[in-house]
Amino acid sequence: MKSAADFVTFGEALVRLSPPSHARLEAATSLDVHVGGSELNTAIAGASLGLATRYVTRLTRNPLGLMVCNTARARGVDTSHIAWTDEDRIGLYYTEFGAAPRANSVLYDRKGSSMATIRAGEIDWPSALADARVLHTSGITPALSKGASEATVEAVKAAKKLSVLVSVDLNYRARLWSEHEARDVMSELAEYADILFATEEDTAKVFGVRESSYDDVASRLAERFHLQVVAITLRETPSVWRNTWTAIAYEAASDQLHRGPQFDVEVVDRIGAGDSFAGGFLYGYLTGGVMAGLQYGIGISALKQTMPGDTVYASREEVERLLQGGDLRIQR
């Protein structure tokens, strides 16, 4: 029997390999293995908080593809609409963790991946989006290839036709495409979006939007693309492993700028923080509106940064304790 899903995400899954103990990649003698990918990370965050969540992607039928699928299933995410292929490959990426003054770095090995070779028409979107309230994707997916870009546009068009909210995370990756290429494609996707997620850097790089404050950036983007909500995460990095983390969200219907809580984070692994924010925000938005979205988004993404790997392990109850001012004493 087909399961229902409130929340559907669409994008590439990757296997991450990283040297332990801050080692340089060139000197590594062992590698830690994690499954990730922006839209999968977002799906897992939403599922952790209680959303019925479905992940749509294209995977190669081999042990790495099964690793991805098994990870999603184990985290409570429906995988019934994954497109399987006996060809291509699962993309890899390598993360080298630095410490001040050496920054973290990423090396991609994803050319010719199963998701990069997807084509429009491979996903049955009316079935994948049945009963869904939100479709979420990001700027990483269309950056993979022309086919992936066309498949992403097909997905958001199908969602609009079915009156499903469209959520887009800019997620600009300079190693995948240029700012000019991103601007052309993401401007089209933003025209179909209802909710837009961005960082303080990506809004300038992708859309060329620069204002005196991020409050003004958010309202300008909402006006330009007729968006319901624009959410921008804000990070300060006094050191590689000590950050402050918060976010704002502009709500067009009320012409109101909402500010979320701020956390000082001792960073264990910041990869996937923005993805977890999007999953938490969408949970809160669907259940309680924009301010609830900010609270759950910031809370779960702050917790995500305290644990290794791309995906978050946190319950709704843990997030709520943090938002209520949970302390740092051992919980017995």
Residues with catalytic function: 275
* Cα 97 from Cα 86, distance rounded (Å): 34
Query: What six digits make up the tokens of 201?
Result: 């850097």
Write out the H or E segment, with its range, that includes residue 322.
Answer: helix 316-323
Strand duo 14-18 + 165-169: pairing: unpaired
Write out the H or E segment, with its range, that includes residue 64.
Answer: helix 63-74
101 upstream amide cis, omega within 30 of 0: yes
Give the residue among 303, 38, 45 at the shortest CA–CA distance from 170. Answer: 38
Give the residue among 229, 210, 326 at the shortest CA–CA distance from 282. Answer: 229
Give the residue among 150, 210, 138 at the shortest CA–CA distance from 176. Answer: 138
Cβ contacts of 224 within 8 Å, gap of 6 or more: 207, 209
Query: Bridge partners of 251?
Result: 229, 256
Q: Which amino acid is at 219?
A: S
Helical residues (DSSP H) of 85-228, grouped into ranges: 125-128, 140-143, 146-161, 179-192, 202-207, 214-225
* Cα 285 from Cα 316, distance rounded (Å): 14
Write out the H or E segment, with its range, that includes residue 42.
Answer: helix 38-49
